[in-house]
């Protein structure tokens, strides 16, 4: 079976959002109501995310072919942003607007910014309202509304989700030995699938709360080629080589995001506490081996750098000036296909697991 890439607005970037009705006021003037448009909000109301709420991927086409470093996320008052092909939410071409920026305070005093995004289907009079948390939020935890602003100001995608492996992940070195990612240093030579031993050019790390989109994915030993549990961020792409009757796409090389492998049993999200993520950059976008499983290094181009925290992006540009990498060849896993066949279709058959 092969996958045809549908025509339509291409993805400029993707985020995970909740429906506004996934949030309920549990104390305050709007008690019992869901999250409303800006003109219906009351400061001091306390919100909780429903325990059964799940985010959906919103793919966005920004209509801009210019420098990604100069783009704003859904600029307020500007047109041209729409739902891209392959989005889990809306239909390709539906209009998107950035309506407000909220600040909530959690019970321990930490603050979380959220964006309210309006989605208007073609030909529809009204719009649906969706929420993009700019930091992890937890279900059934009370958050107090502190501020609500119609002008969201500058918004960078770096505040949304990291792409990396976690502390303790074993990386295959040039001589075949295994070394924990936190023990790597710039200049160390790592084995790559396509270009043999390559020196690490840059290493970044970031510690975040392991909730929401920041909770890591645990791929249990043997589910893929991993000889130990492989723990990565949800957007980290894993390289899957398809053979024979198990082949699902035109090319034998398939790149699958870790979250699309989750089945709740052999591959699951580990929520709670904190997690430390590590980014590795090479001269080119490489396929390296983490826990003996092929996975991607951090891609360096304007779009990818716009997703890093500002200090990290600035450091990469300073140390690797002018670097513009091309993504590794391979078919990006189509989420519609994965929804039909289920994640287990990409897992190693139980008879071959160690």
Averages of pLDDT over runs of 10 residues in the chain (354 residues) are: 54 82 97 96 96 85 56 59 86 89 90 91 86 85 95 63 84 96 97 94 89 87 89 88 61 78 90 91 93 90 69 83 73 66 70 56
Rounded to an integer, what distance in angstroms lies between the CA atom of residue 334 and that of residue 4?
Answer: 9
What are the phi and psi torsion angles at 341 (to 5°)?
Answer: -90, -20
Q: What is the pLDDT of residue 137?
A: 82
Torsion of CA 195, 69, 148, 31, to 10 degrees: -30
Task: Kindly give, in sequence order, each residue whose CB lies less than 8 Å from that of residue 154, ignoring residues fewer than 6 positions away.
Answer: 72
Instruction: Estimate to the nearest angstrom the gap between the alpha carbon of 287 and the chain centroid.
Output: 19
Predicted structure pTM score: 0.68
Helices within the chain (DSSP H only): 302-305, 310-319, 335-341
Rounded to an integer, what distance in angstroms lies between the CA atom of residue 20 and that of residue 333?
Answer: 29
pLDDT tens sequence across 296-354: 998 887 666 766 777 787 888 888 887 778 776 566 666 666 667 777 777 776 655 55
Q: Which residue has the tokens 């992006």?
A: 313
Task: Kindly give, in sequence order, each residue whose CB lies less than 8 Å from that of residue 79, ignoring residues fewer than 6 positions away.
Answer: 95
For residue 148, the cross-strand partners are: 102
Rounded to an integer, what distance in angstroms lies between the CA atom of residue 284 and that of residue 297?
Answer: 9
Class of residue 3 by CB neighbours under 10 A (exposed 0-12, middle 13-18, buried 19+)? middle
- Among residues 218, 213, 212, 219, the alpha carbon closest in space to that of 235 is found at 213
> Do strands 293-296 and 287-290 pair parallel, antiparallel, or not at all (unpaired)?
antiparallel
User: What are the distances in angstroms from CA 291 to CA 137, 187, 196, 205?
Assistant: 30, 21, 17, 19
Q: What is the pLDDT of residue 197?
A: 97
For residue 103, the cross-strand partners are: 113, 147
Could you please report the per-residue DSSP string of 93-124? T-EEEEEEEEEEE-TTS-EEEEEEEEEE-TT-
């Amino acid at each position: 079976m092969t996958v045809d890439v549908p025509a339509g607005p291409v993805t400029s970037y993707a985020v995970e959002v909740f429906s506004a009705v996934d949030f309920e006021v549990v104390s305050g003037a709007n008690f019992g109501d869901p999250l409303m448009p800006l003109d219906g909000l009351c400061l001091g109301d306390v919100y909780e995310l429903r325990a059964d709420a799940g985010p959906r991927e919103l793919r966005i086409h920004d209509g801009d072919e210019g420098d990604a470093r100069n783009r704003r996320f859904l600029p307020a008052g500007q047109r041209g942003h729409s739902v891209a092909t392959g989005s889990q939410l809306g239909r390709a071409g539906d209009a998107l607007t950035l309506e407000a920026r909220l600040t909530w305070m959690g019970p321990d005093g930490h603050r979380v910014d959220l964006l309210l995004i309006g989605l208007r289907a073609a030909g529809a009079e009204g719009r649906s309202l969706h929420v993009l948390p700019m930091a992890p939020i937890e279900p059934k935890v009370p958050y107090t509304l502190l501020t609500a602003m119609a002008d969201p100001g500058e918004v960078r995608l770096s505040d949304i989700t990291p792409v990396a492996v976690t502390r303790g992940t074993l990386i295959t070195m040039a001589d075949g030995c295994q070394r924990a990612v936190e023990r790597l240093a710039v200049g160390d030579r790592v084995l790559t699938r396509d270009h043999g031993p390559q020196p690490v050019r840059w290493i970044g790390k970031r510690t975040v709360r392991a909730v929401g989109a920041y909770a890591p994915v645990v791929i249990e030993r043997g589910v893929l080629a991993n000889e130990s549990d492989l723990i990565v961020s949800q957007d980290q792409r894993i390289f899957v080589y398809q053979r024979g009757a198990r082949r699902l796409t035109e090319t034998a090389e398939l790149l699958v995001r870790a979250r699309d492998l989750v089945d709740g049993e052999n591959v699951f999200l580990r929520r709670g506490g904190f997690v430390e993520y590590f980014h590795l950059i090479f001269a080119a976008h490489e396929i390296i081996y983490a826990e003996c499983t092929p996975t991607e290094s951090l891609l360096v181009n304007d779009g990818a750098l716009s997703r890093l925290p500002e200090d990290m992006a600035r450091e990469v540009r300073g140390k690797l000036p002018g670097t513009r990498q091309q993504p590794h060849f391979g078919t990006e896993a189509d989420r519609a296909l994965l929804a039909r066949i289920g994640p287990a279709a990409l897992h190693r058959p139980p008879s071959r697991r160690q």
